[in-house]
Chains A and B, each alone.
Chain A
Amino acid sequence: MENGQNILVIIPAYNEEGSVGKVVEEIHTHLPQVEVLVVSDGSTDRTSERARARGATVLELPFNLGIGGAMQAGYQYACQRDYDIAIQVDADGQHDPKEIVKLLRSLEEKMIDVAMGSRFLGTSEFKSSLMRRMGIFIFSRVISMIVGQKITDPTSGFRAASRKAIQLFAFNYPQDYPEPEAVVLLHQCRLKMAEVPVGMSERYSGESSITKIRSVYYMVKVLLAIFVDCFKKPPLLRQEGERC
Chain B
Amino acid sequence: MLIKIQIIVGVLSMVLLWITFELIRKKRLREEYAILWLFTGIAVFLFSLWPEFLLSQFFVRITGIFYLSAVVLIAFFFLLLIVFHFSVVISKLTGQNKDLAQRYALLELEFKELSRRCLPSDRIPL
Residues of A within 8 A of B (CB): 39, 57-63, 65, 69, 72-73, 76-77, 80, 175
Binding site secondary structure of chain A: mixed
Is B104 interfacial (CB 8 A cutoff)? yes
Contact (Cβ within 8 A) A62 B104: yes
**A63: B residues at CB distance < 8 A:** 101
The answer to whether A76 and B106 touch across the interface, beta carbons within 8 angstroms, is yes
Task: Please tell me if B25 contacts chain A, counting CB pairs below 8 Å.
Answer: no
The 8 residue pairs across chains A and B that have the minimum distance between CB atoms: A73-B102, A61-B105, A69-B98, A59-B105, A61-B101, A62-B101, A59-B109, A65-B98
Secondary structure at chain B's binding surface: helix, strand, loop or mixed?
Answer: helix
Q: How far is the CA of A80 from the CA of B104 in the complex (A)?
A: 14
Task: State which residues 73-108 of B face A: CB under 8 Å.
Answer: 98, 101-102, 104-106, 108
Roughly how many angstroms separate A200 CA and B1 CA in the complex, as a whole number? 74
Interface residues on B, range: under 10
> Complex Cα distance A154/B87, Å?
30
> C-beta contact mask, B96-126 vs A, less than 8 Å → 1, else 0?
0010011011101100000000000000000
Q: A175 touching B98 by the CB < 8 A rule?
A: yes
In the complex, A57 Cα to B109 Cα: how many Å?
9
CA distance A215 to B106 in the complex (A): 34
B102 touches A72 (CB 8 A): yes
Docked Cα-Cα span, A200 to B103, in Å, equals 33
